């Protein structure tokens, strides 16, 4: 026991709560908790173990103090964040660095001493008249070499309740591995007004990589406050870089072949590109929709889902588009909805649910009615475009039986997807591991939508769909991915998908459910059950194989006209993308030479192909099989 804090904690905590901490037999935890009790000055402290009684206390209190409100279905609650606290705050999220260190051009940073002084000042006395919660979780399955312990200090029962749904319990895990390292998180919602954070202009999310600790204050939105999500991913990427594994912004799912034999795949898609809907496709199995840790063992790649739940965007979730999820969201069970619309009978509504909206209700703006506007004269929608649901994966009918396998799941393929209206084909296999990492992953772009940023069609560079969370230089991160294949006789195959290809009139060339066929083709390519056509940018399907898959999977015809429009090689657009990506990487330091070589080789293949076949080349032009 750390004598520095022993007497103080014995005096401040009840005997019951002190006993919970002392049983961990971990001086670092004792110092951590003691330090932030002194700084934040809570009225009381509750230490949450893995017991059902402690978890139930968190749930009850979330409702009792009105951080959540019960809805009409048993187990469902709703939480509202402040009107201006509806998403991750990139500008207020900073890494604390020393000596002017620069992580990468996409990461905001601040001198560590100045940042600590500021954040500690904001946290000082921030929990007066509130109860501090000390919670323990496991990032990954219990008793697994993949997993990392985590400790969350917060004054929000909503945050603690959300984490209990999303993450596996960690008190016993940390107690049984008392000398194993862990991540630390400190959060305070700050001063409250109308039960939401008042001082939003002082919202801060600071990441101290040197101490594996994240601070957030004056915010309630889960992306800023549920530390174990993207904030922990930043810490994990740094740890993975040192230890030779991968921490990725990826789903993990099982896909079956025609005979029901399952193989596992990881996939990285930027926001609003179909990542979650892909991970929970009907007929396949979901392991996770957001973050995966990937390690090598005995010459194979294995992955685990860091989480056991989903914090997902609810917009457009309905019976037609997401049948499995929609059914779960309308069934009894523990679910937190956030920033949706609730009517007088406590029924939930959201954009795209396909229900008739009530004439009035409560939403993230307070009392809502059709036509209501904010202070800038903008009409307030019934639910926020970033409204969310938090649900345990075991509430889904297609959750994979191996969700909690401590050994991880053998991953046979990586899939990268983006929103691309005019360049990439719907599905394509990379020519090699290096080609896939460079041309599919590190060259990933995605177009913005009017619904999210107000300006449609702007291509955003987002390598591996992870650029927002990189805590190491981009060049080092790419090198990590390239080197991961070392020691793997048959590394995972790499694929790209694009659900958003359009024709010249702007009409989508893919239907929403077509992704089921693209993924089935990917699954069959793993066993080489299907051949493929070699093109300058990768391997694409034969028409006959897709026609058969469309018939078997979707019970619909697939025309040769559609095949030609979807899978023709668009040479000018591909060359334009290469030019954009090359210009970006030429300005960055520490980029592996392999990257520019692979990009140059693809440019050469495209230019040679253009001379022989023109700007737009149908699949029949290519004859190579592999």
CATH number assigned to the domain with residue range 3-63+87-244, chosen from the 4 options 3.30.450.20, 3.40.449.10, 2.30.30.90, 3.40.50.720: 3.40.449.10
- Kindly report the three-state secondary structure assignment for every residue of 161-200: HHHHHHCEECHHHHHHCCCCCEEEEEEECCCEECCEECCH
pLDDT at 178: 65
Q: Which of 40, 266, 273, 609 is catalytic?
A: 273
Q: Could you write out the DSSP letters of every residue in 232-262? A: HHHHHHHHHHHHT-EEES-EEEEEE-TT--E
| Average pLDDT per 10 consecutive residues for the chain, totaling 626 residues | 77 96 93 97 98 98 97 97 90 91 88 97 97 98 96 98 98 84 96 93 96 97 94 97 97 95 97 88 94 97 98 91 90 97 97 91 96 93 95 95 97 96 97 98 84 62 95 96 97 97 93 95 97 97 98 97 97 97 94 96 98 96 74
CA distance between the termini of the chain? 63
Distance CA 593, CA 572 (A): 25
Contact yes or no for 395/332 (Cβ under 8 A): no
Residue corresponding to tokens 């600590």: 116
Contact yes or no for 288/280 (Cβ under 8 A): no
- 39 contact partners, CB below 8 Å, separation of at least 6: 120, 123, 124
> Facing residues of 604 across strands?
none
pLDDT at 623: 75
The candidate with the shortest Cα–Cα distance to 350, out of 320, 387, 303, is 387
pLDDT at 451: 37
Q: Which fold has domain 247-307+402-621?
A: Phosphoenolpyruvate Carboxykinase; domain 3 (3.90.228)
SS3 category, 435: helix
Query: Exposed (0-12), middle (13-18) or buried (19+): which is 444, by Cβ within 10 Å?
Result: buried
SS3 category, 87: coil
CATH number assigned to the domain with residue range 311-395, chosen from the 4 options 1.10.3720.10, 1.20.1630.10, 2.170.8.10, 2.102.10.10: 2.170.8.10
**Looking at the chain, which residues constitute the CATH 2.170.8.10 domain(s)?**
311-395
- 250 contact partners, CB below 8 Å, separation of at least 6: 266, 267, 268, 290, 291, 292, 294, 303, 414, 465
Q: Could you write out the DSSP letters of every residue in 118-138? A: HHHHHHTTTTTTSEEEEEEEE
**Looking at the chain, which residues constitute the CATH 3.40.449.10 domain(s)?**
3-63+87-244
pLDDT at 76: 98
Distance CA 552, CA 622 (A): 26
72 is catalytic: no
pLDDT at 102: 84
**Looking at the chain, which residues constitute the CATH 3.90.228.20 domain(s)?**
247-307+402-621
């Amino acid at each position: 026991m750390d004598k520095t804090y022993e007497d103080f904690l014995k005096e401040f905590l009840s005997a019951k709560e002190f006993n919970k901490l002392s049983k961990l037999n971990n001086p670092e935890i004792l110092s951590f908790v003691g330090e932030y009790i002194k700084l934040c000055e809570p009225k009381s402290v509750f230490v949450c173990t893995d017991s059902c009684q402690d978890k139930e206390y968190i749930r009850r209190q979330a409702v009792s103090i009105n951080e959540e409100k019960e809805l009409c279905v048993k187990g469902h609650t709703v939480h509202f964040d402040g009107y201006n606290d509806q998403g991750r705050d990139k500008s207020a999220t900073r890494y604390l660095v020393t000596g002017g260190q620069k992580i990468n051009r996409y990461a905001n940073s601040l001198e560590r001493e100045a940042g600590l002084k500021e954040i500690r000042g904001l946290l000082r006395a921030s929990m007066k008249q509130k109860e501090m919660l000390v919670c323990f979780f496991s990032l990954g399955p219990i008793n697994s070499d993949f997993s990392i312990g985590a400790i969350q200090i917060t004054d929000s029962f909503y945050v603690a309740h959300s984490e209990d749904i999303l993450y596996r319990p960690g008190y016993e895990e940390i107690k049984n591995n008392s000398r194993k390292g862990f991540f630390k998180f400190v959060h305070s919602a700050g001063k409250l007004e109308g039960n939401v954070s008042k001082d939003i202009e002082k919202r801060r999310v600071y990441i101290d990589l040197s101490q594996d600790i994240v601070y957030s204050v004056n915010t309630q939105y889960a992306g800023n406050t549920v530390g174990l999500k993207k904030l922990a991913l930043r810490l994990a990427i740094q740890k993975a870089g040192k230890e030779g594994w991968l921490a990725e912004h990826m789903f993990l799912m099982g896909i079956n072949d025609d005979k029901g034999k399952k193989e596992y795949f990881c996939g990285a898609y930027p926001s609003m590109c179909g990542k979650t809907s892909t991970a929970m496709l009907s007929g396949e199995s979901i392991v996770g929709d957001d973050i995966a840790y990937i390690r090598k063992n005995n010459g194979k790649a294995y992955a685990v889902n860091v989480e056991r739940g989903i914090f997902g965007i609810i917009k457009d979730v309905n019976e037609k588009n997401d049948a499995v999820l929609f059914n779960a969201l309308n069934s009894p069970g523990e679910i937190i909805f956030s920033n949706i619309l609730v009517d007088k009978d406590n029924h939930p509504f959201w954009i795209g649910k396909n229900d008739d909206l009530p004439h009035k209700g409560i939403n993230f703006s307070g009392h809502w009615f059709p036509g209501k506007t904010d202070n800038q004269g903008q009409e307030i929608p019934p639910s926020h475009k970033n409204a969310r649901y938090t649900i345990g994966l075991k509430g889904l009918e297609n959750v994979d039986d191996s969700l909690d396998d401590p050994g991880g799941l053998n991953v046979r393929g990586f899939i990268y997807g983006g929103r691309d209206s005019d360049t990439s084909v719907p599905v394509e296999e990379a020519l090699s591991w290096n080609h896939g990492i460079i041309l599919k992953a590190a060259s990933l772009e995605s177009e913005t939508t009017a619904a999210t940023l107000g300006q449609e069609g702007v291509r955003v560079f987002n390598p591996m769909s992870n650029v927002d969370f990189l805590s190491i230089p981009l060049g080092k991160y790419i090198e990590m991915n390239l080197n991961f294949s070392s020691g793997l006789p048959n590394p995972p195959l790499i694929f790209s998908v694009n659900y958003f290809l359009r024709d010249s009139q702007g009409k989508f060339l893919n239907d929403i459910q077509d992704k089921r066929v693209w993924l089935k083709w990917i699954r069959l390519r793993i066993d080489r059950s299907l051949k493929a056509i070699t093109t300058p940018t990768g391997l694409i399907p034969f028409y006959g194989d897709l026609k058969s898959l469309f018939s078997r999977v979707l019970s619909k015809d697939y025309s040769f006209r559609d095949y030609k429009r979807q899978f023709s090689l668009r040479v000018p657009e591909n060359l334009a993308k290469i030019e954009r990506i090359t210009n970006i990487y030429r300005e960055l330091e520490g980029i592996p030479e392999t990257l520019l070589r692979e990009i140059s080789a693809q440019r050469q293949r495209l230019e040679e192909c253009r001379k022989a076949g023109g700007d737009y080349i149908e699949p029949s032009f290519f004859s190579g099989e592999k």
